[in-house]
Each structure stands twice: as structure tokens, then as C-alpha cells.
Amino acid sequence: MSIVILTGAGISAESGIGTFRDAGGLWEQYPIEQVATPEGFAADPDLVHRFYNARRANAAQAEPNAAHRALAKLERQHTGDVLIVTQNVDDLHERGGSQNVLHMHGALNRATCSACGHTWPAPTEMHTTDPCPKCTAPSTRPDIVWFGEIPQGMNSIESKLRTADLFVSIGTSGTVYPAAGFVQSANALGLRTLELNLETSSGAFDESRTGPATQLVPTWVEEVLSQQRNSTKR
């Protein structure tokens, strides 16, 4: 069974990384337009670098939780493919042991150059005047997909959905497109769809389970692995 898993800020919430839209979420402290759009970056790059420097520090302090670790166990022990498509820009999936992770909204620990497209591991703090290590232009930015920009890996995601059997959405409000539309694509392609979230985001899923990710995800992973063990015994 090939599984595509979409994760959002909710899977990292219990690691202490703020979500976007829960009470007191990140976007309430910073208007999206100012810190997560190309226009906002052009208008005040110092503010945007401060926003991402703070988030990079916050993510570095955080530890992967039981949900991240359960998905890594699934990837190791499940006989079918497991792809994690994450909207998150933290590296908790990788630090929790997952290897097949696609950051469709970019990553805090990666930087890119607007002039030549070069990408490299981001320093702890980025500043507006940092020269690109490749072309030396002072046009470096966080390798993050802002609103109005095209998400990364869309072709891979779409081709993976076409051959998968199960689509699981974990810890996302289903607010941001195109990620929020993946469940519709999965339904149209005949995949089974499952949501594991603190609250039900939409009626689009075959099954929705509500609760914290650190409880729902390990339980679900154990179900998948025991079904796999039982089917191999027969």
C-alpha cells in the first residue's frame, strides 16, 4: 500500500512550534502580507529576516515528538512507499528519522539567492546584505515559499498521488492552497482519505479522527503495521 501523508503546523505544535491560525498563532502576531509575501520582503527585508531568524531559532530549540517518530517508524517498517509532503518549514520530520520528506513550502534551514537560484544550508541568522556564496549578489533570502509563489515539488506530489492507495492529512487546517486541494485530488483518484487533526477541517475525508497528533499518529501507525503483519501471516 503506497501512502502519501500531508502534514501541517499541527504536527509540530506539541514540539512547541507555533501554528499559524490557532489562537495567538504566528499570523496574528505578524500580518501575512508583511512577512510571508515577496512584496513584504521587498518592502522590509530586515523585518522578514527577523521573523525567519526567530522561527529558525525556535525550530532549533524544538524536539521531534511521538508523531514525527511514528511516521519515521512507518517509513522504515511499511513495505509500501511512504512519502511525507509537509507544509512545515521546520526539520522535525528529518530529525525524527524520516528520510522521504518533501517540503512544499520550503525550509527554514535552507537559503536561496534571488539572482542566481543557488540554494545552500541557511546560517542561524540571515541578514539583508548577506552575499550569495555563489554569485556574491546581495540578494539572498530564506528558501521559503511565500503566498503568491509556486510551491516546490508539485509535479512529484501529483505523480505520487496518482499511484498511491491512501492519503493521510495530519495537523493542517486545510486553509492554504494548493495543499488544501490534495484531498479533492485524492478522492477523485479513488484513494482512501484519512484526517488526523485536533479538529475536523472539512467533510472531504472518508474518515476523520480528532485529537492531538502525538496520540492519533502512533495509534494509526500501529494499526497499519499490525494489518501488514497479519496479512503476511496468512
Among 109, 112, 169, 172, binds ligand BV8 (CB under 6 A): 172
Under the criterion CB under 6 A, does residue 20 sit at the interface with ligand BV8?
Answer: yes
Under the criterion CB under 6 A, does residue 8 sit at the interface with ligand BV8?
Answer: yes
CB of 229 to ligand BV8, least distance (A): 27
CB of 46 to ligand BV8, least distance (A): 16
Is residue 197 a contact partner of residue 212, using CB atoms and an 8 Å limit? Answer: no
Among 39, 63, 125, 199, binds ligand BV8 (CB under 6 A): 199
Which grid coordinates belong to 11? 504536527
C-beta of 99 vs 200, nearer to ligand BV8: 200
Under the criterion CB under 6 A, does residue 85 sit at the interface with ligand BV8?
Answer: no
> Which residues lie closer than 8 Å to 5 by C-beta, 6 or more apart?
71, 82, 83, 84, 85, 167, 168, 169, 170
> Which residues lie closer than 8 Å to 100 by C-beta, 6 or more apart?
75, 81, 82, 83, 84
Extended beta strands in the chain, E state: 3-7, 82-86, 101-103, 106-113, 119-121, 140-144, 166-170, 192-197, 207-210
Under the criterion CB under 6 A, does residue 107 sit at the interface with ligand BV8?
Answer: no
Distance CA(156)–CA(39), nearest Å, equals 28
Among 175, 184, 219, 231, binds ligand BV8 (CB under 6 A): 175
Under the criterion CB under 6 A, does residue 65 sit at the interface with ligand BV8?
Answer: no
Q: Is 103 a catalytic residue?
A: no
Give the residues lining the site for ligand BV8 (CB under 6 A). 8-10, 13-14, 19-22, 25, 36, 87-89, 105, 144-151, 154, 171-173, 175-178, 197-199, 201, 212-213
